[in-house]
Amino acid sequence: MKQYKKTIIAVMTTAALFSAQHVFAKTVEITMTAKEVDVAVNGKLVGGADTMAAWTFDGTVPGKPVRVEEGDTVDFTLVNPAENKNSHAMDFHAAQVNVLDEFAPVKPGESKHFKFEAKVPGVFMYHCGASPMVQHIARGMYGVILVEPKDKKNYPKADREYVLVQQQYFPDVENYGAMLNDANAWKGSLVNGKVLHYDPVHDPKGDHDVLEAAPGERVRIYFVNANINNPVALHPIAGIWDRVYINGNPKNQLVGIQTYNVAVAEGDTFDIVTPKDKDVAGIAIVDHSMNAALRGAITVLVSKKGADPKKGHGEQIILK
Ligand SMILES: [Cu+2]
């Protein structure tokens, strides 16, 4: 009898937990429109042009960050307007679906709707998977989907959060064969769509908006490697990663890391704690592979008293 009661209680508790989970899970509607437009890339610094004839989600490179919680359903629509010349598609790395159905190409003048449950927490890439995929990514059709973990154990709250996406810049956007096979075709490294985007040291003439934090803050970087071919050796110059969460999942955690190698199409979360005892400290987040750093993969984080309170929050997790 006692055992029977225990079983009943266990079943009721499980049912309560199960329904509680489903009460909090929500559906997030997202629509993106494929736009074939010119975007500013700051490419002159590396022997290219200042603009790129890009293919984009909603007109920006990278596309907007998507942010959901583990267990949420993403209700997604991709619109490909009739004025576009190419088919486009969406491949969310956070989805477990059918590549031939949900991720299939959408012709100009058509749209595609699908849903998936974001079951695995982490920082995931999304990108266009239409053929030739190398060209659709190189021309700018990529972004980040953050799936916030439910289990916050051993996942300290961040004071500020930033999204950084790195990608190889090929000025000759038509020659996709060269993107795969010609090392010289790769001229620049874009961080959030621009060469030396947040680096006033190496590009003093640029219009820069460096990452900011206050002394002693935990800064969380959601990093995606959207390169075509090259891994990224992510290192904070004058700092040490306090924690690295592989795939952005707190269950996969490393501590005290100088450099972490991010594979192509990998996303990881990096925590750094800015020095508490310094009024001002500059930290340069670089791809320590020198051929990438010198092509533009340098991002300056300034820790200082009176840091802009808006930076690293809300919309400003990705700085323009
Ligand atoms: Cu595309």
Domains in the chain, number: 2
Q: State in Å: Cα 160 to ligand 1 middle.
A: 32
What gap in Å lies between CA 65 and CA 92, rounded to an integer?
Answer: 12
310 is a domain residue: yes
- Whether residues 131 and 176 fall in one domain: no
Tell whether the model's pLDDT for residue 53 goes beyond 70.
yes
Q: State in Å: Cα 262 to ligand 1 middle.
A: 24
Q: What is the pLDDT of residue 147?
A: 98
Q: State in Å: Cα 78 to ligand 1 middle.
A: 11
Domain holding 94, by residue range, is 27-148
Residue percentage of the chain with pLDDT more than 70? 93
pLDDT in tens, 117-158: 999 999 999 999 999 999 999 999 999 999 999 999 999 999
Which residue among 99, 119, 148 closes a domain? 148
- Whether residues 165 and 304 fall in one domain: yes
257 is a domain residue: yes
Contact 312, 160 (CB under 8 A): yes
- Whether residues 98 and 235 fall in one domain: no
The pTM (predicted TM-score) of the whole model is 0.92
Work out the pLDDT band at 6, boundaries 50, 70, 90. low
Task: Tell me the average pLDDT across 172-200.
Answer: 95
Q: State in Å: Cα 319 to ligand 1 middle.
A: 24
- Whether residues 185 and 237 fall in one domain: yes
Residue 14 neighbours by CB under 8 Å, 6+ apart: none
293 is a domain residue: yes
pLDDT in tens, 201-220: 999 988 899 999 999 999 99
- Whether residues 177 and 31 fall in one domain: no
Span between the terminal Cα atoms of the chain, in Å? 65
Q: State in Å: Cα 137 to ligand 1 middle.
A: 7
Q: What is the pLDDT of residue 320?
A: 87
Pick 46 or 5 by higher pLDDT: 46
Q: What is the pLDDT of residue 4?
A: 58
Q: What is the pLDDT of residue 207?
A: 84
Q: What is the pLDDT of residue 206?
A: 87
- Whether residues 143 and 188 fall in one domain: no
Return residues with CB closer than 5 A to ligand 1 (ion). Answer: 88, 128, 130, 136, 141
- Looking at residue 212, which CATH number applies to its domain? 2.60.40.420
- Whether residues 115 and 166 fall in one domain: no
295 is a domain residue: yes
Q: State in Å: Cα 88 to ligand 1 middle.
A: 4
- Whether residues 129 and 206 fall in one domain: no
- Whether residues 165 and 312 fall in one domain: yes
8 is a domain residue: no
Q: State in Å: Cα 129 to ligand 1 middle.
A: 6
Q: What is the pLDDT of residue 22?
A: 53
Residue percentage of the chain with pLDDT more than 90? 90
Q: State in Å: Cα 89 to ligand 1 middle.
A: 6
- Whether residues 203 and 313 fall in one domain: yes
Q: State in Å: Cα 91 to ligand 1 middle.
A: 10
6 is a domain residue: no
User: How deeply is 296 buried, as exposed, middle or buried, from its count of CB atoms within 10 A (0-12, 13-18, 19+)?
Assistant: buried
Q: What is the pLDDT of residue 24?
A: 77
Q: State in Å: Cα 211 to ligand 1 middle.
A: 30
Q: State in Å: Cα 127 to ligand 1 middle.
A: 8
Tell whether the model's pLDDT for residue 12 goes beyond 60.
no
Which residue among 98, 113, 148 closes a domain? 148
Q: State in Å: Cα 297 to ligand 1 middle.
A: 24
- Whether residues 140 and 270 fall in one domain: no
Which residue among 115, 148, 181 closes a domain? 148
pLDDT in tens, 54-102: 999 999 999 999 999 999 999 999 999 999 999 999 999 999 999 999 9
165 is a domain residue: yes
- Whether residues 192 and 283 fall in one domain: yes
223 is a domain residue: yes
**CA quadruple 259, 140, 282, 221: dihedral, nearest 10:** -60
